[in-house]
């Protein structure tokens, strides 16, 4: 499939995943996606908002050290930089997401101006960022610019409604969600593949991707339908951010013009590698370089 020209624009939350052992890892699904895209040598524009606090300064310094553009990260003098309490239960993360974080108040004018200047190839966003009126208005303004949109569903109770998610999915070109989220949106109507086809038809998207953890996943859409093979995790640590890693490589494939089969297989393998580290991101550039070399040699 042909590649896309322009920069990927990633809109949404940046926050700290705070674990039970006292460690705090910089994250947030959109931030993780932007981080991985930068690791692969792209130049994502990350649009978000941080507090005027120590955590906010850490966000900026970490992005700068990784070579990420901070121009579209807004500052908030009232609300704190986002944080989430993470508990691991049988290796699976459970989240306690706090209200009224800086990322809930992304300004409309700054976000639109930043995206226009970026000449976007696509706009990526999740569903959590639409929980608040302020950032939801900024997102609606960005989508009104009519970029090709990749929507990554992350259903986090109590921060979503079926009506709200319905609005996010309308007009999306690409949709990604996991099997549990598919069941919630489809109300368990039938088998997962049938639910996915019905959802894809309802929103008229080009591609709907359903991830199934260690079982891989599947896709439906304009290219037809097919399986995403499972990828082995040699030394499992946790699955925090695995879905974000998958999304990042899927976007990389869209930009580079990889075949859909290659794109989704590579996305699954990279997500499996992220399951071998603590948290959602890594500063080990070798992980990205090694993956790129393998993919480029494969053609």
Helices 179-186 + 192-203 axis angle, to 10? 70
Question: Which structure tokens are listed for 31?
Answer: 């931030």
176: closest CA among 74, 291, 264?
Answer: 264
Whole-Å CA distances, 276 to 52, 173, 177, 213, 238 = 33, 31, 21, 14, 7
| Integer-rounded Cα radius of gyration of the chain | 18
Reported as a single tens digit per residue, the pLDDT across 13-36 is 999 988 888 888 899 999 999 999
**Average pLDDT of the residues in 216-243:** 94
Residue 55: strand, helix, or coil: helix
pLDDT in tens, 110-169: 999 999 999 999 999 999 999 999 999 999 999 999 999 999 999 998 999 999 999 999
Give 238 or 112, the one with higher predicted confidence: 112
pLDDT tens, position by position, 155-179: 998 999 999 999 999 999 999 999 9
Left (φ > 0), alpha (ψ -120 to 50) or beta: where does 76 sit? beta
pLDDT at 275 over 80: yes
User: Does a structural domain hold residue 200?
Assistant: yes
In a domain? residue 254: yes
Report, as an integer, the average pLDDT of 195-222: 96
Q: Are 151 and 168 in contact (CB under 8 A)?
A: yes
Average pLDDT, the chain: 94
End-to-end CA gap in the chain: 13
| Domain carrying residue 247 | 7-298
For residue 299, pLDDT over 90 is answered with no
Q: Is residue 102 part of a domain?
A: yes
CA–CA gap between residue 29 and residue 97 (Å, rounded): 13
The tens digit of pLDDT for each residue in 39-65 reads 999 999 999 999 999 999 999 999 999
Closest CA to 194 of 211, 182, 206, 205: 182
Q: Distance between CA 86 and CA 107 in Å, rounded?
A: 28
Residue 19 lies in a domain: yes
pLDDT higher than 80, residue 92: no
Cα–Cα distance list, 35 to 45, 287, 294 (Å)? 10, 13, 20
Q: Compute φ and ψ for 230, nearest 5 degrees.
A: -70, 150
Domain for residue 124, yes or no?
yes
110: exposed, middle or buried (C-beta count within 10 Å: 0-12, 13-18, 19+)? middle
Q: Is the pLDDT of residue 1 over 70?
A: no
Residue 1 in any domain: the answer is no
Tell me, what's the pLDDT at 88?
79
How many domains is the chain built from?
1
2 falls within a domain: no
Span 72-86, pLDDT tens digits: 999 999 999 999 888
| Residue 196 scores a pLDDT above 80 | yes
Q: For the domain that residue 100 is a member of, what is the CATH number?
A: 3.40.1190.20
Confidence (pTM): 0.95
Of 184, 208, 213, the residue nearest 196 (C-alpha): 208
Q: Give the neighbor-by-neighbor strand order of the sheet with 15-19.
A: 24-27, 15-19, 82-89, 92-97
What confidence score (pLDDT) does residue 187 get?
A: 78
Q: Could you give the angle at the alpha carbon of 241 between the alpha carbons of 291 and 232, nearest 5°? A: 55
Query: What are 243's two structure tokens?
Result: 């879905």
């Amino acid at each position: 499939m042909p590649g896309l020209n322009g920069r990927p624009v990633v809109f949404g939350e940046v926050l700290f995943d705070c674990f039970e052992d006292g460690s705090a890892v910089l994250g947030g699904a959109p931030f993780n996606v932007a981080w991985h895209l930068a690791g692969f040598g792209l130049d994502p524009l990350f649009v978000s908002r941080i507090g005027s606090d120590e955590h906010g300064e850490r966000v900026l310094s970490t992005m700068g050290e990784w070579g990420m553009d901070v121009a579209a990260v807004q500052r908030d003098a009232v609300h704190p930089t986002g944080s989430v309490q993470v508990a691991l239960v049988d290796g699976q993360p459970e989240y306690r997401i706090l209200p009224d974080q800086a990322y809930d108040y992304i300004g409309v004018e700054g976000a639109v101006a930043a995206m226009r200047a970026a000449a976007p190839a696509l706009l990526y966003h999740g569903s959590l960022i639409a929980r608040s009126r302020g950032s939801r208005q900024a997102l609606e303004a960005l989508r009104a610019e009519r970029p090709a949109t990749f929507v990554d569903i992350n259903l986090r109770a109590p921060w979503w409604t079926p009506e709200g998610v319905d609005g996010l999915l309308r007009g999306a070109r690409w949709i990604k969600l996991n099997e549990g989220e598919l069941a919630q949106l489809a109300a368990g109507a039938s088998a997962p593949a049938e639910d996915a086809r019905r959802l894809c038809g309802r929103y008229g998207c080009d591609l709907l991707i359903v991830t199934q953890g260690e079982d891989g996943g599947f896709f439906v859409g304009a290219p037809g339908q097919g399986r995403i093979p499972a990828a082995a995790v040699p030394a499992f640590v946790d699955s925090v951010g695995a879905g974000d890693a998958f999304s990042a490589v899927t976007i990389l494939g869209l930009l580079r013009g990889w075949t859909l089969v290659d794109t989704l297989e590579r996305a699954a393998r990279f997500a499996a590698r992220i399951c071998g580290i603590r948290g959602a991101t890594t500063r080990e550039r070798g992980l990205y370089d090694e993956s790129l070399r393998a993919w480029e040699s494969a053609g």
